[in-house]
Amino acid sequence: MAKAAARRRMISPSNATRDASQNLQIFDLLDLAQYTKEGSYAPTASKDFHLFFVGRDDVHDILKYVLSRTRVSLYLNMFGFDDEELNDILMQKALDPTVTMLITLDKSQAGGEHEKALLDADRKHALAAFNTHFAVGESATHQISHTKGFVCDGKVGGEGSVNWSASGEGTFVLHGQPGGKGYKAQNNTQTIFIDPDSVQRFQTELIAEHMIAENQQEQATPASRRQRRLPVEKRKKAA
């Protein structure tokens, strides 16, 4: 009981994973203004697209805000990530059968503990039964899969140079501002956009990249490192 209470206290206000009433159905980019250095946007700022800066804006909380409010679908291709809090959010979504997930990881970067956690979860739970599908691979011409982006609920897209790590996101160690002992921030940018055409086109691209990686896995990856496939009869039941 005490451990559960302590864990609840550790979850920041930007993380709304456990509150289904907090979702992206009425999302507005103005929701994220609170995480900028100024706490607001300029009057001329776009209503469809905003650019955030690591080392200036609270990119870690921006990512948590959007990802934790995903309730329908998440299409993700992430070159590399080492962020425990974002990983916890993804794993909760992965085990929620009401959320459809496609996760694509780069082959050269996916040998770490988070890929292992994904594989372990698949062995334990058969994630495909929860509508979660993942693949590890490369680009169509066998270069790195360097995409760092996502589309949530078919409504909100995110893309940029940010790797999901403390220095990649410039995760704040002081409340509400950069700086402080041990603070590190790379030069990175993160965009969040809600333009319907861009969201649709990016989601289509993420699906295409996932299918390429999936085909590569089938041909070259040992079965122990591939996602478990559901038997036909179980697929029908899941449907």
Specify the pTM.
0.84
| pLDDT the model gives residue 1 | 38
Task: State yes or no: pLDDT of 235 exceeds 50.
Answer: no
CB 163 within 8 A of CB 148: yes
Instruction: Note down the domain range covering 217.
Output: 45-238
For residue 112, the one-letter residue type is: G
Mean pLDDT taken over the chain:
86
Task: State yes or no: pLDDT of 10 exceeds 50.
Answer: no
Residue 5 banded pLDDT, cuts 50, 70, 90:
very low
Please tell me the least confidently modeled range out of 109-113, 153-157, 207-211.
Answer: 109-113
For residues 34 and 37, give the distance between their C-alpha atoms in angstroms, rounded to a whole number.
8
Give domain status of residue 67, yes or no.
yes
Give domain status of residue 37, yes or no.
no
Average pLDDT over residues 135-150: 91
Task: State yes or no: pLDDT of 225 exceeds 50.
Answer: yes
| pLDDT the model gives residue 93 | 93
Instruction: Give the number of domains in the chain.
Output: 1
Cα dist from 210 to 126, 131, 204, whole Å: 19, 15, 10
Give domain status of residue 115, yes or no.
yes
Highest mean pLDDT among 39-43, 90-94, 178-182: 39-43
Count CB-CB contacts under 10 A for residue 40.
11
Give domain status of residue 90, yes or no.
yes
* pLDDT tens-digit readout, 47-78: 999 999 999 999 999 999 999 999 999 999 98
Report long-range pairs for 232-235 (Cβ below 8 Å, ≥24 apart): 234/129
Give domain status of residue 12, yes or no.
no
Give domain status of residue 34, yes or no.
no
Edge-to-edge strand list for the sheet holding 49-53: 49-53, 189-193, 156-160, 148-152, 73-78, 100-106, 132-137
Give domain status of residue 6, yes or no.
no
| pLDDT the model gives residue 75 | 97
| pLDDT the model gives residue 12 | 62
| pLDDT the model gives residue 165 | 87
CATH number of 155's domain: 3.30.870.10
| pLDDT the model gives residue 226 | 64
Give domain status of residue 35, yes or no.
no
Residue 139 banded pLDDT, cuts 50, 70, 90:
very high
For residues 77 and 59, give the distance between their C-alpha atoms in angstroms, rounded to a whole number.
18
Bridge partners, 190 (sequence order)? 52, 160
